[in-house]
């Protein structure tokens, strides 16, 4: 069902595809789609979760979880961001392009942005608790800076538009986060 939806959404966009068409392509009933996903937006959510939080993300999070140093946790956030956006670009990039004006897609994207902001909270709090945060920053300002630098827009501007390799983006982001958020003596 997910693969059928991916193919249809990529070719025609979210708004133009019906549940019946997804069901037909997947060889299942429309009621089966509704039972599993509740709606077309539910199918899209499942596709996005698979792309954003797939095996690359899980591997990056596993490495992050083993890092006790708060400054290095900030640095390794670059690996997590790259994993998310590389997965997104490869698995649902066409869908995002074809469906860019879809209100349903924008609502889901906002939900994922809110989640990303919340998931980064502990990293910043750990940095401040260890006394390693750059002087003059508040926790809220540091959270906003981390969230901004790890945004899809920056990844897209550098990797897609400027032609940077994902590796170059990750190295740049890692250093930029350290420079912006971590006390010089901590690095």
- Does domain 53-186 match CATH 1.10.357? yes
88 confidence band (pLDDT: 50, 70, 90):
confident
pTM for the model stands at: 0.82
Q: Give yes or no for residue 187 having a pLDDT over 60.
A: no
Token pair listed for 24: 């037909």
Percentage, residues of the chain above pLDDT 90: 65
Question: Could you report the per-residue pLDDT of 13-71, keeping only the tens digit for each?
Answer: 888 899 999 999 999 999 999 999 998 889 988 988 888 888 899 999 999 999 999 99
77 confidence band (pLDDT: 50, 70, 90):
very high
Q: How far apart are CA 158 and CA 131, in angstroms?
A: 32
Question: Could you report the per-residue pLDDT of 94-110, keeping only the tens digit for each?
Answer: 676 767 767 887 888 88
CATH code for the domain defined by 2-47: 1.10.10.60
Q: How far apart are CA 163 and CA 142, in angstroms?
A: 28
Domain ranges of the chain: 2-47, 53-186
């Amino acid at each position: 069902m997910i693969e059928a939806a991916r193919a249809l959404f990529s070719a025609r966009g979210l708004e133009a595809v019906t549940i019946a068409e997804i069901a037909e392509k997947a060889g299942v009933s429309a009621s089966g789609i509704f039972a599993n996903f509740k709606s077309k937006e539910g199918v899209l959510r499942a596709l996005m979760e698979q792309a954003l939080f797939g095996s690359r993300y899980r591997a990056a999070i596993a490495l992050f979880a083993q890092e006790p140093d708060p400054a290095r946790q900030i640095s390794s956030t670059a690996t997590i961001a790259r994993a998310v956006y590389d997965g997104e670009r490869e698995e649902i990039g066409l869908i995002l392009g074809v469906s860019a004006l879809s209100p349903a897609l924008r609502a889901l994207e906002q939900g994922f942005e809110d989640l990303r902001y919340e998931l980064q909270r502990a990293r910043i709090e750990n940095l401040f608790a260890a006394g390693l945060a750059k002087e003059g920053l508040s926790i809220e300002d540091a959270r906003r800076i981390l969230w901004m630098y790890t945004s899809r827009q920056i990844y897209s501007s550098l990797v897609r538009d400027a032609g940077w390799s994902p590796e170059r983006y990750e190295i740049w982001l890692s250093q930029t986060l350290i420079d912006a958020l971590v006390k010089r003596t901590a690095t």
